[in-house]
Amino acid sequence: MTADGTSEAAWLTHRAEARRVRALQSLGSDRQSLLGQFFTPERAAALIAGLPRLPGTGRLRVLDPGAGSGSLSAAIAARVLRERTRLELEIVAVELDDTVAAFLRETLSDIEQAFKAAGSSAQTRVVAGDYIELVTSLLVVDAALDEPFDLVLMNPPYRKLAASSAHRRALALNGAECPNLYAAFLALGAQAIVPGGQLVAITPRSFANGPYFGQFRSYLLDRIALDRLHVFESRSTVFSDTGVLQENVIFSGTRDGPRSHVTLTVSRGHEDSPVERVVDYDDVVRPGDTDRFIRILSDADDTSVAETMAALPATLADLGVQASTGRVVDFRSRKCLSTADEVGSVPLIYPGNIRGGIVQWPREIRKAQGFVVRCEADSRLLLPPGYYVVIKRFSAKEERRRVVAAVWSPLEIDQPVAFENHLNVMHAGGEGLDHDLAVGLSYWLNSSVVDAFFRTFSGHTQVNATDLRSLRFPKLDGIRALGQQCGTHLPAQENIDKLISEVIGLGVVAV
């Protein structure tokens, strides 16, 4: 036994990490994917457990929903052992999977043993079952979940919730519209804490922006005030042994807390020392923003990008332009797929056809290059001849830009065109754009300022039509003036940015 609990803390987290690895190995990939299970590595768990404020004495009641093998429970227990030897700890851990729950029980047993050895007090309990069902009373509520908690600490499961699912309907009845499991866990976690209590979680960064999570953000931010946000520069380090490539964020928030400042920290991965800065709360969640975007401004460049974009006057709707996902889902239209030279075929455009700011067609990309209308329904998948701006929905990891846009020109191929579902298409009410507008939009979307904005405010490599609709643009005459001076082939990045600066009068942030 040690006076400060240091050796017991180290013993506890070392055993929890070894148990995490064994638990991960015991699960098949299909089972892990089904449940959305991604267990928290030791260093990441320590980083997460380091965020909440700890009282000096009394009792700290902690909820760990979707606890997995117990890495977060072990991490917060280890921190209490090191820093708050007079603080009593109570942990309630919820886990659905019976196999994983066996590892969790061993971790909680270690916590009680470590506290006893250090002369402190810890009580732990495993609640077996589906956390959402338990809390929304689809099943009998466990008494351990009745009393509110001082701290909810979580690495929630990552999986979508179907709009018709019982989980989603139950959450809606509780006032929370949650499109996936991690949002559901966060919403219920915010409900479970006392006024002044804290919610701390690691999740994909994607919930912070975009209309898809708008209702959920409003629900969450009405209940908690953000205290701290930690982002990782690398997408691949935190859950490297599980194959997860999501960009993750750790955040803490206080139920009904003050909204004055937010501490932002950044590290490349979970094993690196973070860089810290403090910003005004209004810089993160802007007053009057109906979308309730959470703007994670990691450094001065991020702040500059945010200010530049916020000052722009127009949206796509203001420009008279719409953004839609490509209409052709190729596996559903196999009978229509053809070669480019088949009689009656029209161009079929994939992301692989985008090269250097233009759409090259036909091109050898191991994809069908022609589309033949076989019935009336097929004709509705086509767009009429015209200029269109096409944007890749998914950028490859080796690509330098997050947003990759190009112009489809009708000059050489004046016929209808089909765009595949992995592309977004900018059009004017289902018709083509004028030349200057199309080219100007392409240059703007390929600029450094737009790329930096997406990297700052989007937690994934996907660019959705909804993201484009919420993006800010220069005035219409500025976009057209840019298009008048430019060719469809994109020049070097510095020349794109120079043109935007000269024509539109907008300084850009280099990335």
Question: Are residues 343 and 215 part of one domain?
Answer: no
- Based on the domain organization, do 194 and 342 belong to the same domain? no
Per-residue pLDDT band at 210 (split at 50, 70, 90): low
Q: Pick the more confident residue, 276 or 505.
A: 276
Least confident of 306-310, 312-316, 439-443, 446-450: 306-310
Query: For residue 480, what is the enclosing H or E element?
Result: helix 476-485
Top mean-pLDDT range of 202-206, 283-287, 418-422: 418-422
CA angle 169, 173, 175 (to 5 degrees): 115
pLDDT of residue 237: 52
User: Quick one: 23 and 160 in the same domain?
Assistant: yes
Q: HEC profile for 350-400?
A: CHHHEECCEECCCCCCCCCCEEECCCHHHHCCEECCCEEEEEECECCCCCC
Q: Which one has a higher pLDDT value, 424 or 167?
A: 424
Quick one: average pLDDT of 411-423? Answer: 92
Query: Is residue 448 assigned to a domain?
Result: yes
In the block, residue with structure tokens 């919930």 = 207
CB-based contact 181:152 (threshold 8 Å): no
The confidence score (pLDDT) of residue 509 equals: 44
CA dihedral 413, 414, 420, 421 (to 10 degrees): 140
Report residue 213's pLDDT band, with 50, 70 and 90 as the boundaries: confident
Asked whether the beta carbons of 483 and 477 are under 8 A apart, the reply is no
- Of all residues in the chain, the percent with pLDDT exceeding 70 is 87
In tens, the pLDDT along 120-156 reads 999 999 999 999 989 887 555 677 888 999 999 999 9
Q: Is 370 left (phi over 0), alpha (psi -120 to 50) or beta?
A: beta
**End residue of a domain, out of 220, 250, 282:** 220
Within-domain flag for 295: no
Q: What's the CA gap between 126 and 105, in Å, rounded?
A: 7
pLDDT of residue 435: 95
Separation CA 200–CA 217 (nearest Å): 15
Does some domain include residue 370? Answer: yes
Residues 412 and 316: beta-carbon distance below 8 Å: no
Percent of the chain with pLDDT over 90: 57
Whether residue 296 lies inside any domain: the answer is no
Closest to 150 in 3D by CA, of 188, 193, 187, 186: 193
The reported pLDDT for the residue numbered 350 is 97
Average pLDDT of the chain to the nearest whole number: 87
Residue 445 lies in a domain: yes
Could you count the other beta carbons within 10 Å of the beta carbon of residue 244?
A: 14
SS (H, E, C) 288-350: CCCCCCCCCCCCHHHHHHHHHHHCCCECCCCCCCEEEECCECHHHCHHHEECCCCCCEEEEEC
Confidence of residue 241 (pLDDT cuts 50, 70, 90): very low
| Residue 127: per-residue pLDDT | 95
Which of 297, 381, 294 has the alpha carbon at shortest distance from 346? 381
Report the chain's C-alpha Rg in angstroms. Answer: 26
Are 353 and 361 in contact by the 8 Å Cβ rule? The answer is yes
CATH number of residue 360's parent domain: 3.90.220.20
Number of domain units in the chain: 2
CA 163 to chain centre: 19
**Would you state the pLDDT for residue 145?**
87
Domain hosting 338: range is 322-504
Rounded mean pLDDT of 466-488? 89
Q: What's residue 236's pLDDT? A: 45
- pLDDT top residue among 511 and 475: 475
Q: Which tens digits make up the pLDDT trace of 341-396?
A: 999 999 999 999 998 788 999 999 999 999 999 999 999 999 999 999 999 998 76
Same structural domain, 196 and 335: no
Answer yes or no: do 194 and 335 share one domain. no
Confirm whether 238 is domain-assigned: no
- Judge whether residue 311 has pLDDT over 90: no
Q: In this predicted model, what pLDDT tens digit does every residue of 57-94 receive, in sequence order?
A: 999 999 999 999 999 999 999 999 999 989 999 999 99
Maximum Cα–Cα distance across the chain: 84
Task: Answer yes or no: is 264 within a domain.
Answer: no
Both 357 and 215 in a single domain?
A: no
Neighbour count for residue 509 (Cβ, 10 Å): 19
Q: Is the pLDDT of residue 459 over 80?
A: no
pLDDT for res 137: 72
Q: Is residue 344 part of a domain?
A: yes
pLDDT-derived band of residue 473, with 50, 70 and 90 as boundaries?
very high
Q: Which of 158, 187, 220 is the last residue of a domain?
A: 220
CATH number of the CATH domain containing 56: 3.40.50.150
